[in-house]
Structure 1
């Protein structure tokens, strides 16, 4: 065992205390910075829904209401729709953004979050544009579907690229699938991804749209990833809204809806 002189032991002890104090100070200081950064990041989000009214939103009040601090869309038995209908946020036309919202799907049916969309002039409350799909069976939840456009751009579990095309949309949108898409990679097996989605309970939807890259997450899991290089057909900004879909009676609820511009 190495023996140390008394003077060296005193210096080492004192130095150790100084070093320990310095490390503690650095760690606590770093922790505060992290909390501040997180708080600043959270403060960048704005609430799109006040929890009590449909102020700032435009939709068919026969289909949409506020219930238990959530925006609720419901199709009742005997009141089935002839076409899809949306409730549209009137606060702007987001371009690059991140949206987070919680949703709960009940019964059967289909819903979704539309973004970078346009309202059809001849069909009020109908949108054309990208959609983060939601369905009760979770067969398509998280996929990228272009409403009234190129149809399915990426199934759940797919990372795809959309190259430019010369022809009309009808030439490539066959069987409700955009046939010009190029699959780049797999994000996981569809059945495995489905296990991350809670049935008849609240789930978190997160959509990140930056430039021509579009990512859909459910409960923190990346479900689809699209890079849209189709300059003729892609959109880089537009309206956002939630959907009730033609089909059987259904109920969809959205709450804690937040948006951050990127």
Structure 2
């Protein structure tokens, strides 16, 4: 009885935690828009970005904007892949795969536009990243601070001086590389 009353009070006062929104559950890309090449598909809850021989750029943007949020997903790739998750705009990204400029895997590291590049590198990624298998990533974007956890290990906390207050979330296929990246179990949870 006490548990029920406490739950009712939380709901009535608005203190109950919001449920994470599950993304890519529909068999299409409803609620998303593609910028660049049409490389994105969704099937059985798996979002796939796969380029062709033209190796063009493609970003899949949410039509919805987010302020402070947590985005969680599983991703899988093998070989030379350059992808990432954009946070509120195209100049703030958490890298997945090999950086075109640095020629090495920078998964979990923030990429802050072409002028800033990678201002800080995620640590301990080699110890936890499973290339060719599913990896779990959690990105918390709270104000101008980004905290990234990879397969249960926090790999970075970065404070950006160029973060936007709100904006969409995006998934990237980088130009100049023939690649395939998969995302599944993608959720976003607004904070506060």
Indicate whether the TM-score tops 0.5: yes
| CA gap 1:138/1:261 in 2 versus in 1, 3 angstroms | farther
**1:248 partnered with 2:177:** yes
CA distance in structure 1 between the aligned counterparts of 2:109 and 2:130, rounded to whole angstroms: 16
| CA gap 1:213/1:72 in 2 versus in 1, 3 angstroms | same
Q: Which residue of 1 aligns with 2:159?
A: 227
| CA gap 1:51/1:219 in 2 versus in 1, 3 angstroms | farther
Is the helix fraction higher in 1 or 2? 1
Structure 1 runs (4+) greater than 4 angstroms displaced: none
Q: Please state how far the C-alpha of 1:150 moved relative to its aligned partner.
A: 2.5
SS of the counterpart of 1:208?
strand
TM-score by length of 2: 0.81
Q: Please state how far the C-alpha of 1:47 moved relative to its aligned partner.
A: 1.3
Aligned length: 176
**1:129 partnered with 2:104:** no
Structure 1 alignment gaps of length 5 or more: 1-28, 34-39, 118-127, 158-191
Q: CA RMSD in A?
A: 2.6
TM-score by length of 1: 0.60
Matches within 5 A, 1:1-262: 41=17, 44-59=19-34, 62-76=38-52, 78-81=53-56, 84-90=57-63, 92-117=64-89, 128-135=90-97, 139-148=105-114, 150-157=116-123, 192-228=124-160, 230=161, 233-262=162-191
CA distance in structure 2 between the aligned counterparts of 1:51 and 1:218, rounded to whole angstroms: 26
Structure 2 alignment gaps of length 5 or more: 8-15
| CA gap 1:147/1:242 in 2 versus in 1, 3 angstroms | farther
